[in-house]
Each structure stands twice: as C-alpha cells, then as structure tokens.
Amino acid sequence: MQKLVLLGDEAIAQAAIDAGITGIYAYPGTPSTEITEYIQRSGEAKEKGIRSSWSANEKTAMEAALGMSYAGKRTMVCMKHVGLNVAADPFVNSAITGANGGIIVVAADDPSMHSSQNEQDSRFYGKFAMIPVLEPVNQQEAYDMVHYGFDISEKYRIPVMLRITTRLAHSRAGVQRKDSRKQNELKLPKNLTQFVLLPSIARKQYKDLIRNQENFNNESETSGFNEYFEGQDKSRGIITSGIAYNYLMENYSDRICPNPLLKICQYPLPEKLLKKISEECDELLLIEEGAPFIEESLKGVLGNCLKVKGRLDGTVPRDGELNPNIVARALGFEDTRGRDVPAIVAARPPSLCAGCPHIDSYLGLNSVLEEFTPGRVFADIGCYTLGALPPYNSVNSCVDMGASITMAKGASDAGLKPAVAVIGDSTFTHSGITGLLDAVNDKTPITVFILDNATTGMTGGQKSAANGRIEHICIGLGVEKEHLHVINPMRKYHGENIKIIQEELNYDGVSVIIPRRECIQTIGKNKKEDKLKKGE
Amino acid sequence: MKKDIILAGVGGQGILSIASVIGVAAVNLGLHLKQAEVHGMSQRGGDVQSHLRLSDKEIASDLIPYGKADMIISVEPMEVLRYLPMISPEGWIITSIKPFINISNYPPLEKIMSEIEAFENHVALDADKIAKESGSLRAANDIDYGNFEEAIKFVFGSKGDDIVNINLKAMKAGRDFAETHSHAKLK
Ligand SMILES: Cc1ncc(C[n+]2csc(CCOP(=O)(O)OP(=O)(O)O)c2C)c(N)n1
Ligand code: SF4
C-alpha cells in the first residue's frame, strides 16, 4: 500500500477506522479536532457505518463511548487536555468498570498553550486512573499504537489513553497502513454487574485494577515502544518522553546518541529499564514534552543519590513546548540562530474577523456599560474571548467552558449589579445550561448574552449542538419570556439593541439576550460547498 | 538532499494548502517529509507558519532548528521578517510584496522592503500581478514555487478541473518568472 501523508491526528483517525471501531465520540478542541473531522469526511468510515457526529461535551462523549464498549464494540473518544477535566468523572471511573469492547481515550495536550488556557499534562490523569498510557513519538507510531492500544484494551479489559501533543497532532508525515480489522459483534459483558459501581462491587473491581497493574507494567517493559539504546559515554544517561526523542535526535547528525538512552512512549513507567539506566549512568537528563512527570517520579520528595537533571532544576525550562534548540542547550551543545527579527516587525495577535457578529454585540454592550464602573462582564471560551483584547476590552474573565454564567451569578450574589455573562451558543450547550438553571432557581439578577453565530467558531466551524433551539432551552429552564430577547447584531439595529440591553440590565432577575447572526466564516464555507455540489 | 523550508503568512491566506501541495509532491517522489502546521487560535488573522522538511534520509524533528532553514517562503512581506531567526547563513528568503494589513500599527512598506533588500539572498515578487495574468487572484500563492503538477491535481482535484488548471497555470507563470528574474533585476 502507498504511504498516506497524514497529520498526527489523521493518522490516529485512519488507524481507528482500520482497527475496526464502530463509533467515535468527541467535542471539538484544538489540537484534537481533526481526528473526528477526518472520520466525518472519510468515505471508508461512511461505508463501514462508523458513527462520528459531535457530542455536546467531553463528558457525554466519554460516557457514550463507555456505553459502546459495554455493548462489546470498539470505540474511540477524543478531546483536548482540558476536555479531560470535563470528562474526568466517567474517565476515572471507567478504569474501575473496565472495558468490554476496546476503548481508547485520546487526550491532546497543548504545551506552550498555543490555543489553550493551560498546559496540563494528561499523563497525570492516566496515572491517576491507573490505566496504560501510550505516547507516540511520530505519526507512524501514533497509527501503530492505536492498533496495539485496542489489543491491550480488549486483552486486559481496560480503557487505554493515547496522549499526544499539539506538534504531533498538527504535523504531517508519510504513514504506512496495516490491514483492516472487522468490527466486533454486539456482545454484552459476561458479568452484567461489571458496570455497576455500587461500593461493594467497586471495591472488588478496584482490587482487580490494582492486580492488573503488574500486567500493565509488563506490557511497558516488553511491547517495544519503550526502547533502550546502549551508549558508550556513561557519564550521563538520557530519558525522553514522546516526541522529545525527535528533538534529541535532531542534535546528532548521524542520529546516534553517544549516551545510554531510554525512549519512553508507554506507561506505567518501565521500572526495569529505568533501573538499568540509573545504575549504568552517573547522572540522568530528562527531556519530557510536558510536565516533569517522569522526573518527579524518579526524584521523589526526598531526592536520592541519583543526579537527575531536567525541568525541575532548570536544565530544561520549567514550562513550554520543547524544540531542537532547547534540547541542544540542555545537552550543553552550541546553539544556532539566524538573524534577529527587525524591530519594525509588529505583533499580529489573533482577532475577530472583519464583519464578525460578535463585534456588534460587544459594541452594543460597551455603549450601555459606559455609565457603570468597569469589570462586570464574565465571558467564556470561543472566538468571542477575543473581545478581551483592544479595541473592544469588553470582557473581564475567561476561565473554563461554562464559567461565564456561574461566575456572573457568584459576583451578583456578592453584590455586583449589574453583572453580565457572555457565552457562545456551543459553549452554552457544552456546559452553560446547568449554570443558567442555578441562576433561574435563585432568581439571580444577571444578564446573560448567548452569542448565537450558529456554529462552533473558534475550532473551525463545527455544528453547534442546539442550533436554532437556544431560546427554547432557556424557556424550558424557566427564563421568563418577557426577559428573553433574540436580537440581530448589526450596525443598523444598534439603537434598538442597546435599548433592550439597557432595560434588561435594570431587571432584578435573570435576563437572556440572544444576538443571532451567522459566523461569516461558515457563511463563506457553506457557499463554497454549495457551489461545489452544483458543479459551478 | 535535505530542504528545510518555512512557509509564512497570516491566518486565512492559504499557507496550509501550499504546504500540503509541496508535501504530497515530495512523498510521491519517495522523499521523507515532515510538515508542522499551525491550527487553532492563530488562524483567526494571527501570524501562521509551517515548517516543511524534505529529505532523502529519515527526518528527526517536526520543527526546523533556529538558524537552519534553507528558505523562508512568505506570502506577506512583514511575515518573512518574523522568521529571520530561523534562517541559515546561506539561506534564501522569497516573499510576495503585497502587505496584508489587519493591524493598526503595520509598519511602512518601504521600511519592510529595505529590510528585505538588506538580505543578500532574497527574491521579492508581485505574485498578484503574475497571478492576474495567469487567470486567478486566488492562485497567487502558487506563484511562489514550481514543479508540483501532480500534487496540485491531488490537493485541488476535489474542487474541479477549473481550479486545478488555474493553479497549474499559476505554477507555470511562477516558474517562468523565477527563471527570468533575480533580486538584482527586480530593483
Ligand atoms: C473543555 C473544553 N473543551 C473544548 C475547548 C475548545 N474550544 C474552545 S472555544 C470552543 C468553541 C466555542 O464555540 P462557541 O461557544 O459557539 O463560540 P464561537 O467560537 O462560535 O464564537 C471550543 C470547542 C475548550 N477550550 N475547553
Ligand atoms: S470565525 Fe466566525 S465567530 Fe469567529 S471571529 Fe470569525 S466571524 Fe467571528
């Protein structure tokens, strides 16, 4: 078979199709989005009947995947790292229920926060849940690991995590496919209480999980993904995790590292291999893409006779993504650099598109809030977060998906009036609904803007879960009809819009204003697709 | 053979299509390829770049080391300057001279041009003009490289024959231009 040129994300998706999944579940989030999009576009996936539409959030995705596993079929669930926080409850418990059909959880981390609020390292979650974690070094290994991951998931009846980072997710390389596997038959678990986590059952299954650790350890020692390379110069041993290995190798033109080298791509940590390198070498250099996860477990709290260098002692910067130059400096090699950036080069931060509906929403909100002291607008995550930047300077918070409504509620409870929440349509259905219910139940004086651009804009325009039904959801939650307004965020309606906003800011209860106008990017995209369909 | 190329531009200018045309062409030729892209937040009008690495030997890193790029190809003149720390001492910079202005503090174009011209190995070209002559403004990006017919057919094939042909024409115009011009003649 000819090699396919695939992004890391696409390699994972193709592997999932080839390994015989019956469904993929996900909520978009950079850098994981392209996995699910690839399956949604794939003709092969369509032929095989693989389900792939978006879930409302990562928790519903994780739970649906667990249900598919319960029914005996193979499944994948994908999210960005912070999505795993949302899915943490079913994720951690799935280690105790165990799997029936194979299940792989892809967690896509974003070191350096290219498009994220933090750079948490999902390997901690894998360890926390006590499940095997795979961390591919390149696109081919990502492809291969999906096949292997499903094997061990079904062999040990355990969910498996595949941890990737932005650079692998969004980098392309040639990938060789393996033979396709058939999907599993529908087959319920032999023990029909396997998924019933009553304390009496959970206690027993937790012991099974603990017993299984030895098997997972054994896999880490023997699967071949963790590799030991002998080296002549034992004054230092090097341990890399995931794609950090590539940056190390970039520093040796012959691709041979003179030091003993342990490339770690599978967890739990391979104890024997770690013992070997620590006994052979005078000191260890840890190069990890992400947090000092291996480094901390080697050092422990008290430290020991081992000399360990890495992110904790500053040999490698404590935060941020690695690159070949950072690794060169850690190795003590000479650094390379071209010319300086000329002083005239200006920063070009991301910004709202010209003609974006959010611009008119913020201009309206800004003009009404002029008469109050600043600092009253709790926003959320999406394109509209860019309203925090000049020239708008419209919003004062962005913490996690859904936090706008609930933070506005808390601040209002504390006495801040008026308090305003700004949330996108997709974020609202992801995790704003429950917060709005809290506010309705308390009759909290807040004004909630649900910016309905009919899409999930920030991540590239995926379908929004309750397109066209946002106001019905609000009414269903108990928002009063008189205090619910759908407005058109356009310059020509500015006058009437600010009148509505003004009135609702004065209302002593929950108001919802829905500025509704489609994202101009999706309008453009849909037009293009229509043209294509018509063959123009 | 080893070529390390930075492709630069602004989110929405089509950097990613350029990168994938070159990538597919390279793999079809049996070369090793790694090509790192920027997706996500920066695509909203921020600066974007792609690291494109081609080699007849296996490639280690997805990222080109600083000071090692053989070439920076930019579809925007200020953006080419942003990546100068990446360029090797013998490297070339190739850029379109048409600015993309979506910020209020965009520097004067003459200043940008004099920084570009101060760089020994540079090609600066009016890609739009060449593209207009070949039939499509949107094909302007294709001007900046040549020799990728198969890849263009593969990447743009789903968009119909017209789009493929416009891109092929643009590519040929680009190649002709490159063959007849050097930075010395451009001045
Ligand atoms: C828990 C979590 N999941 C996913 C994301 C990624 N993400 C950031 S913004 C966004 C979409 C926002 O869509 P919407 O609320 O409709 O706003 P728009 O971008 O369309 O303005 C997503 C999916 C995230 N930051 N956190
Ligand atoms: S993608 Fe859509 S929602 Fe996002 S800034 Fe552009 S127009 Fe606005």
pLDDT in tens, A262-306: 999 999 999 999 999 999 999 999 999 999 999 999 988 776 668
Nearest CB neighbour to A346, from listed B33, B45, B106: B106
Q: With CB atoms and an 8 Å threshold, state whether A114 touches B61.
A: no
Q: How far apart are CA B170 and CA B178, in angstroms?
A: 12
Q: What is the pLDDT of residue B184?
A: 36
Tell me which residue has its CA closest to atom 20 in ligand 1: A457
Q: What is the pTM of this model?
A: 0.93
Is residue A26 one of the residues assigned to a domain?
Answer: yes
Is residue A348 one of the residues assigned to a domain?
Answer: no
Q: Which residues line ligand 2 (CB under 6 A)?
A: A 352-353, 356, 358, 383, 453, 457, 519-521; B 44
Q: What is the distance in angstroms between the Cα of B158 and the nearest Cα belonging to chain A?
A: 9
Q: How far apart are CA A347 and CA B173, in angstroms?
A: 33
Specify whether A81 is located in the same domain as A209: yes
Specify whether A175 is located in the same domain as A32: yes
Q: With CB atoms and an 8 Å threshold, state whether A114 touches B40.
A: yes
Is residue A350 one of the residues assigned to a domain?
Answer: no
Q: How far apart are CA A91 and CA A160, in angstroms?
A: 10
**Domain range for residue A319?**
227-331
Convert the pLDDT of each residue in B48-107 to its tens digit: 999 999 999 999 999 999 999 999 999 999 999 999 999 999 999 999 999 999 899 999
Answer whether residue A138 shows pLDDT above 70: yes
Answer whether residue B182 shows pLDDT above 90: no
The full set of domains in chain B, from first to last, is: 2-128 (3.40.920.10)
Convert the pLDDT of each residue in A429-459 to its tens digit: 999 999 999 999 999 999 999 999 999 999 9
Tell me which residue has its CA closest to atom 5 in ligand 2: A352
CATH of the domain at A137: 3.40.50.970
Answer whether residue A536 shows pLDDT above 80: no
Answer whether residue B185 shows pLDDT above 50: no
Is residue A110 one of the residues assigned to a domain?
Answer: yes
Closest listed ligand to the CA of A358: 2
How far is ligand 2, taken at its centre, from the CA of residue B102, in Å? Answer: 15
Residue of A116, A426, A450, A520 with the most ligand 1 atoms within 8 Å of its CB, for mutation: A426
Q: How far apart are CA A359 and CA A491, in angstroms?
A: 10
State which residue of chain B sits closest to A336, comparing Cα positions.
Answer: B67
Nearest CB neighbour to B84, from listed A168, A338, A348: A338
Ligand 1 atom with the smallest distance to the CA of A29 is 6
Q: How far apart are CA A70 and CA A83, in angstroms?
A: 22
User: To the nearest whole number, what is the mean pLDDT of chain A?
Assistant: 96
Q: How many CB pairs under 8 A join A and B?
A: 159
Ligand 1 atom with the smallest distance to the CA of A86 is 1
Specify whether A295 is located in the same domain as A175: no
Contact by Cβ (8 Å): A286, A298: yes
Give B34 or B155, the one with higher predicted confidence.
B34
Specify whether A104 is located in the same domain as A21: yes
Answer whether residue A417 shows pLDDT above 50: yes
Strand partners, B33: B54
Closest listed ligand to the CA of A33: 1
Specify whether A46 is located in the same domain as A133: yes
Residues 6 or more apart whose Cβ sits within 8 Å of residue A244: A287, A288, A289, A322, A327
Q: Which residues line ligand 1 (CB under 6 A)?
A: A 27-29, 58, 80, 82-83, 86, 381-384, 401, 424-427, 453, 455-459, 464
Answer whether residue B174 shows pLDDT above 70: no
Going by C-alpha positions, the residue among A377, A382, A397 that lies closest to residue A352 is: A382
Q: How many CA atoms lie within 13 A of A520 on its CB side?
A: 13
Which of A108-112, A203-207, B124-128 has the least mean pLDDT? B124-128
Query: HEC profile for A331-372?
Result: HCCCCCCCCCCCCCCCCCCCCCCCCCHHHHHHHHHHHHHCCC
Specify whether A245 is located in the same domain as A215: no
